[in-house]
Amino acid sequence: MDYLKAIYETLSNNQIQFWTLIATISSTILWGVYVYFTIKTFNQIKKQTDLQSRAFLLITPRLCQIDSKPELDSIATNLSNKWRRILENNLSEAISENKIFEIELTNRGKSDVINWSIEIIANIKEGSYLHKKFSVNGEETKWSIASKPEQTIAPNQAIRVPVILVGDFPQITLFWKISYTDLMEGKYEIENKISGYSSSNVLAFNYKE
> Could you report the per-residue pLDDT of 13-71, keeping only the tens digit for each?
566 665 666 667 766 776 665 555 555 444 454 444 444 568 899 999 999 998 888 89
Please determine, for residue 178, whether its predicted confidence score (pLDDT) is greater than 90.
yes
Domains of the chain, residue spans: 2-53, 57-206
Please determine, for residue 5, whether its predicted confidence score (pLDDT) is greater than 80.
no
Cα 78–82–84 angle (5° rounding)?
115
* pLDDT on residue 124: 97
Mean pLDDT of 140-156: 96
* pLDDT on residue 48: 44
In percent, how much of the chain has pLDDT > 70?
A: 76
CA-CA-CA-CA dihedral for 124, 128, 134, 139, to nearest 10: 20
* pLDDT on residue 138: 96
Name the least confident of 24-28, 81-85, 98-102, 172-176: 24-28
Mean pLDDT of 147-157: 95
Strand partners, 61: 103
Indicate left, alpha or beta for 133 from its phi (over 0: left) and psi (-120 to 50: alpha). alpha
The residues near 186 (Cβ < 8 Å, ≥ 6 apart) are 50, 54, 55, 111
Rounded to an integer, what distance in angstroms lies between the CA atom of residue 98 and that of residue 65?
Answer: 8
Cα 98–103–106 angle (5° rounding)?
145
What integer best gives the mean pLDDT of the chain?
84
**pLDDT tens track for 109-134:** 999 999 999 999 999 999 999 999 99
Q: Which amino acid is at 64?
A: C
* pLDDT on residue 116: 97
Strand partners, 121: 142, 175
Cα 43–48–51 angle (5° rounding)?
125
Q: SS3 for 129-156, per residue?
A: HHHHHHCCCCEEEEEEEECCCCCCECCC
Q: Which amino acid is at 53?
A: S
57-206: CATH class: mainly beta
